[in-house]
């Protein structure tokens, strides 16, 4: 299975460069990473990068964009598999976020830390994806509220759903900052706990 964050479409060399970039961006940040370091990690000269990407900035954009797009694709499939059941949809969303941020910490951190370095249309595109991810969860919460299976703090409507969605997503995203295999929680335990927390935050009436 392809590691999330590598170009969705690209040559084997583009994928090698992207993989090396993700590792370096994760360890030291994109600003502190040079083109030479990326290419040396692939056994190439610095000029080789420019045969495949216009610049380091474009490489960062491709990596960050594709991490977000892969997450969106997996989330869409997870929701569609249980569509019509808000509790199951919320649980599925949390399961995806937990897996992506505990199993793929490098790509998760790079996406969430480094996207702010993007500029112009590239930044706008990634922010739009992030908003779609948030709005997807808001839609799940609203559906659950209308079905009277969620009792959201703050009343009815999209504002209350957004104010619930944001902390739910925030707690999931930050898993990549602290979770590792030496922690006493297994991946399964972690998912179960976070699903439980999210259901409580949504005021689920079935727990």
DSSP assignment string, 92-155: HHHHHHHHHHHH-HHHHHHHHHHGGG--HHHHHHHHHHHHHHHHHHHHHHHHHHHTTSB--TT-
pLDDT of res. 133: 97
Domain range for 49: 12-201
Residue 2 confidence (pLDDT): 42
Q: Is residue 192 part of a domain?
A: yes
Q: Is residue 185 part of a domain?
A: yes
Instruction: Give dist(CA 144, CA 204) in Å, integer.
Output: 8
**Domain count of the fold of the chain:** 1
Residue 107, domain CATH: 1.10.357.10
The reported pLDDT for the residue numbered 180 is 75
Instruction: Tell if the pTM clears 0.85, that is, is over it.
Output: yes
Predicted local confidence at residue 181, as pLDDT: 64
Q: What is the pLDDT of residue 130?
A: 97
Q: Can you tell me the distance from the alpha carbon of 184 to that of 197, in angstroms, rounded to the nearest whole number?
A: 18
Q: In order along the chain (207 residues), what is the average pLDDT of each group of 10 residues? A: 51 90 96 96 92 93 95 96 96 96 92 96 97 97 95 88 96 90 78 96 83
Q: Is 206 a domain residue?
A: no
Q: Is 168 a domain residue?
A: yes
Q: Is 2 among the domain residues? A: no
- 35 domain-assigned: yes
């Amino acid at each position: 299975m392809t590691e999330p964050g590598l170009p969705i479409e690209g040559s084997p060399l583009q994928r090698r460069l992207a993989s090396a970039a993700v590792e370096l961006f994760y360890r030291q940040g994109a600003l502190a990473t040079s083109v030479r370091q990326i290419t040396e990690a692939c056994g190439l000269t610095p000029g080789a990068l420019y045969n495949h990407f216009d610049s380091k900035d474009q490489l960062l954009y491709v990596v960050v964009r594709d991490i977000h797009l892969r997450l969106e694709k997996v989330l869409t499939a997870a929701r569609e598999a249980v569509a019509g059941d808000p509790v199951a949809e919320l649980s599925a969303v949390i399961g995806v976020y937990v897996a992506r941020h505990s199993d793929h910490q490098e790509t998760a951190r790079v996406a969430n830390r480094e996207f702010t370095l993007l500029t112009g249309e590239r930044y706008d595109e990634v922010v739009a994806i992030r908003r779609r991810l948030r709005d997807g969860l808001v839609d799940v919460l609203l559906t659950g509220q209308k079905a009277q299976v969620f009792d959201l703090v703050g009343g009815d409507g999209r504002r209350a759903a957004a104010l619930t969605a944001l902390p739910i997503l925030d707690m999931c995203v930050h898993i990549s900052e602290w979770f590792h295999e030496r922690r006493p929680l297994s991946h399964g335990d972690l998912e179960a706990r976070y699903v439980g927390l999210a259901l409580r935050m949504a005021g689920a009436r079935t727990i």
